[in-house]
Amino acid sequence: MRSAKRAAAAALLTVSALAVAGCAAGGGSGSGGDAASCEPAGEDVTLTFTSWIPGIEDAVAMWNEENPDIQVEVQTGPSGNAGTYQNFFNQLEAGNAPDLGQIEYDALPNFRVQDGLVDLGACEDVLAAEDQFLDWTWGQVTLGTEDEVYGIPQDQGPMALFYRSDLFEQNGIPVPTTWEEYREAAVQIRELGGYITNFSDSDINQFAGFVWQAGGQWFENDGDAWTVNLTGEESTTVADYWQDLIENDLVSTYPAWTDEWNNAYNSGEVWTWNSAVWGANSILSGAPDTSGNWSVALAPQWNAGDEKAGNWGGSSIAVFNGTDHLYEAAKFALWLNTSEEALTSLNETAQIYPATTAGLELPVLQEGVEFYGGQPIYDVFAQAATQVDPNFTWGPTMTQTYGDVSDGFKAAAQGNGTLLEALEEGQAATVSTLEAQSIPVAE
Amino acid sequence: MTAVNPAASRRRRGGQDPVSRGPREGVIPRTAAFLVMGVFTLYFLTPIWWLLIASTKDRDDLFSTNPLWFADFRFFENVGALVAYRDGVYLRWLLNSLLYAGVGAVVATLLASMCGYALAKYRFPGRETLFNVVLGGVLVPATALALPLFLLFSQVQLTNTFWAVFLPSIVSPFGVYLSRVFAEASVPDELLEASRLDGAGEIRTFFTVSIRLMFPALVTVFLFQFVSIWNNFFLPLIMLRSEELFPVTYGLYAWNSTINQFPELRTFVLVGSLLSIVPLIITFLLLQRYWRTGLGTGALK
């Protein structure tokens, strides 16, 4: 299966190269979408909506029942980076994109610069909905502009610390609240034969979450040009910190989501995971023998007493250029991501963690979770969600950036080069990719 | 494919070494050959063994028990859960695959055989050019054609339909090539002459006489095409959006791509992968006799 995946990835690369060539030839300017008007169609409308969340049909079925004049048809495919984003670009190129699509926050700027998205700011309802969302999730869809909205936030991944409360307790190690304490605990745990955590070379998103928490900014856009800063002060601090843990064999370096990785958690070799809210499900599934032994705490801080959290993941529902039904599409996207019935359904079928303030209060998110010793863990994530820096921006070529940085991280995990060097290479590669796509770069 | 070679067993009766051809080869090279074969067999079979074992386990046992040996046997529960998941969408995918690959391969074989036969048995201007163009088609990977096909099908609004996957699948340049070679070798011109003298038209001759002589080649073409349509995943990835049209490979890929977020899909992907190779194995076993003779005949001519 893994080789099939690799073949698929290679195939995707081929086609994305073709598609990029196609886009360049098409000469997308990257500035200013159509100033579409947000008027009701006045007739029955059928919208197409692409999402890869299993079970999203249930929520859509509710909508269809209540809105006979605006019917929504669900289309599906693999997760974004596994093919659906490339399909979106192909469809935009061919002029048959769906009306709505699921796009993760880190991919949104890419669609924006390729002129793939409609500005929802033309719809009054959308602008009025801003208050319902957490500041930072709204910031993810406005992309740093005023009154321009390129998607409705759907879910989020505030980060916290999953830890084996039983092991910490038995060995008299205090649960770390700062990154300094975290390192001290790592040393003690290593003496006991375990690892405090696993540093996965493939999860650049996790690392980005650490940088986000530390207050770093990888990208900025002043409306004209992009500033790329993968090697700023905060990124360097985070990179040096983890580099130190890797070099001193204080963390394991299994590739994430593999059997070895699951096994390391299941067998108690690895004690903590700094992960997003959806990680609760991954541990439950990957380390079933440890049921009841896990707890969740707020992430370790860089300065004692700080209250900062990073974010890992989350997505929005965007409306694609070429739609004839902006009004209806926006209406549906708002309903899907703000109404209690839809959010409850999404949480039940796919553990979607909502991006709205009201969503965090859903009754289902207040209960204790058996796997986590009955702890109501979502309280912690709700708190973390309010501590995420609202200004973190993603670049327009994140797939490339992830790829380049991840190559360096893989080498660093095996002792060749450092994480910081990987970031430096990622910086250079990102700048040249932006320039190659005629996206203006500052400095 | 492990079937005993009849020629080898005949030699054994003569008291000769069953594997080695020269009289000088002794025990050591023989053992070495067996060792190499054994290692490779193991290398190819272990993943399938792992898949078989993994699909008999529930999620808890998957990571905590020996990956190459059984734990609690939950195979039927797993299959039941897979079939029940989302109203049996998996079965739908399996049927789709059978439809795309089965019907697609039959039509592709028919078209390829007619084309190859015409190229072999009729003289017309541009014949070699045509053949060379077809031969060039063998060299173009299907993957490279997927995006242009998508743009073409978008123009005529056929994306996300059954036809978007079916139509490209019935084209097999390699099949044309094989059919031509085989028709040249196995359909004698004299027989065609005789058939024409008896008053049969060209079409009737083809369907009643020639196609029978070409049968082993056709089975080979069918098999190749069946397998390549069954495994073709890139075209569906680009063309299809509606779950009810997915072939099983693409459906499983889509599930597999979201395992990080939705770990409960892992068991379904495993059991689904195992079940999805069963039709391939059945097809191979059923047609083995034909395609082995087919390849053999081709090699001798």
Which of these ranges, A11-20, A35-44, B51-60, has the smallest mean pLDDT?
Answer: A11-20
Listed in sequence order, the residues at least 6 apart from A322 whose beta carbon sits closer than 8 Å to its beta carbon are: A92, A95, A96, A97
For residues B90 and B254, the answer to whether their CB atoms sit within 8 Å is no
B35 and B108 part of one domain: no
With respect to residue B21, please indicate whether it lies within any of the assigned structural domains.
Answer: no
Q: How far is B263 from chain A (nearest CA, A)?
A: 6
With respect to residue B80, please indicate whether it lies within any of the assigned structural domains.
Answer: no
The pLDDT assigned to A436 comes to 95
Which pLDDT band holds residue A196 (cuts at 50, 70, 90)? very high
With respect to residue B266, please indicate whether it lies within any of the assigned structural domains.
Answer: yes
Averaged pLDDT, A231-252 = 97
Q: How far is B161 from chain A (nearest CA, A)?
A: 12
In terms of CA atoms, which chain B residue is nearest residue A263? B63
**Selection from A84, A138, A133, A139 nearest residue A111 by Cα:** A84
Which pLDDT band holds residue B301 (cuts at 50, 70, 90)? very low
Per-residue pLDDT tens over the stretch A346-399: 999 888 999 999 999 999 999 999 999 999 999 999 999 999 999 999 999 999
Averaged pLDDT, B262-278 = 92
Q: Is A53 helix (H, G, I), strand (E, B) or coil?
A: coil
What is the domain range of residue B41?
28-73
B99 and B149 part of one domain: yes
With respect to residue B131, please indicate whether it lies within any of the assigned structural domains.
Answer: yes
- End-of-domain residue from the set B73, B101, B131: B73
Q: CA A110, CA A396: separation in Å to the nearest integer? A: 4
Which pLDDT band holds residue A32 (cuts at 50, 70, 90)? very low
Q: CA B177, CA A315: separation in Å to the nearest integer? A: 49
- Which of B241, B252, B253 should be substituted to probe chain A, the one whose Cβ sees the most A Cβ atoms within 10 Å? B241
- The pLDDT mean for chain B works out to 87
The pLDDT assigned to A3 comes to 43
B106 at A interface, C-beta within 8 A = no
B219 and B275 part of one domain: yes
Residue B256 identity (one-letter amino acid): N
With respect to residue B39, please indicate whether it lies within any of the assigned structural domains.
Answer: yes
Which pLDDT band holds residue B22 (cuts at 50, 70, 90)? low
The pLDDT assigned to A202 comes to 81
B69 and B170 part of one domain: no
Higher pLDDT, B11 or A428: A428
Q: How many percent of chain B have pLDDT more than 70?
A: 88
* pLDDT tops 60 at residue A400: yes
- Which of A47, A74, A79 should be substituted to probe chain B, the one whose Cβ sees the most B Cβ atoms within 10 Å? A79
Instruction: Give the CATH number of the domain where residue B96 resides.
Output: 1.10.3720.10
Which of these ranges, A70-79, A297-306, A311-320, B64-73, has the smallest mean pLDDT?
Answer: B64-73
pTM of the model: 0.87
With respect to residue B195, please indicate whether it lies within any of the assigned structural domains.
Answer: yes
Domains (range + CATH), chain A: 2-156+313-361 (3.40.190.10), 159-311+392-436 (3.40.190.10)
* pLDDT tops 90 at residue B62: no
In terms of CA atoms, which chain A residue is nearest residue B256? A78
- End-of-domain residue from the set B73, B96, B128: B73
Which of these ranges, A13-22, A242-251, A279-288, B249-258, has the smallest mean pLDDT?
Answer: A13-22
Per-residue pLDDT tens over the stretch A141-193: 998 888 899 999 999 999 999 999 999 999 999 999 999 999 999 999 999 99
B172 and B127 part of one domain: yes
- The pLDDT mean for chain A works out to 91
B142 and B248 part of one domain: yes
Q: How many percent of chain A have pLDDT more than 90?
A: 83
* pLDDT tops 80 at residue B9: no
Structure tokens at B17: 């070494």
A9 at B interface, C-beta within 8 A = no
Side-chain half-sphere exposure of B41, counting CA atoms within 13 A: 8
What's the total number of domains in chain B?
2
* pLDDT tops 80 at residue A309: yes
Residue B77 identity (one-letter amino acid): E
B146 and B63 part of one domain: no
With respect to residue B22, please indicate whether it lies within any of the assigned structural domains.
Answer: no
B122 burial (CB, 10 Å; 0-12 / 13-18 / 19+) is exposed
* pLDDT tops 60 at residue A128: yes
